[in-house]
Structure 1
């Protein structure tokens, strides 16, 4: 795994940090730990626990649904956009396959995006600038002015 933290984000580069993860189950708790560690210096006012939960769900989905003939990685990046926090998760899957499900009470899977939808102020999916898919969520008022 690789990681990066941008100690002094600017208007030209609002990224606070990034990490690349292998598409294996061990990367899910690693993503939670590293995000928690690297967001701490920025002292966000939002719930880091909520962000960690949403990252966990999106990284899980990226690992489960990412597809490529070549070796690939999951990329997680987080940005400050005004007073909001934006977290992106990239994988080589197909953007059209991202959908919000409404699982039955007995279904064992399918609640990840439902959790993100209920916690985040907004979320979106589409083509990634790295190729494949990006799913991101926004948390408003992460740094109130």
Structure 2
């Protein structure tokens, strides 16, 4: 039996909810053009739910490999950027494992790289081997503090941020 959820991301099979994609009518165009965007809104307004639904739709349509993952795992790293990068890459792998087909999965191990460049190197390697363009929704990126705020990755990765 469905119910109203106000305590976290909604799932259409469990919760009463309106379709989320119409709430962001211009996002498809931004994705198609490979542009970045930031989704900023008050707490409990459906940001994570909307990004989950959009990532699922983009992946299901077969043109993109899209995931939403949380950067909160890097919050405890403080100024230890290499540790934050590892935590964020682990969150990416976990999200991809649950959401993407086998041919779109990230590499089994992330490449060795200089500290502060690991995230970029890992995403580049993944983008180079993935048959589809990657669309990454960095959820809770504002959880990263100090030196852990990483540069945006480049290449075939469409990085979409949610603060």
TM-score higher than 0.5 here? no
Give the greater-gyration-radius structure (CA): 2
TM-score by length of 2: 0.29
More strand by percentage: 1
TM-score by length of 1: 0.32
More helix by percentage: 2
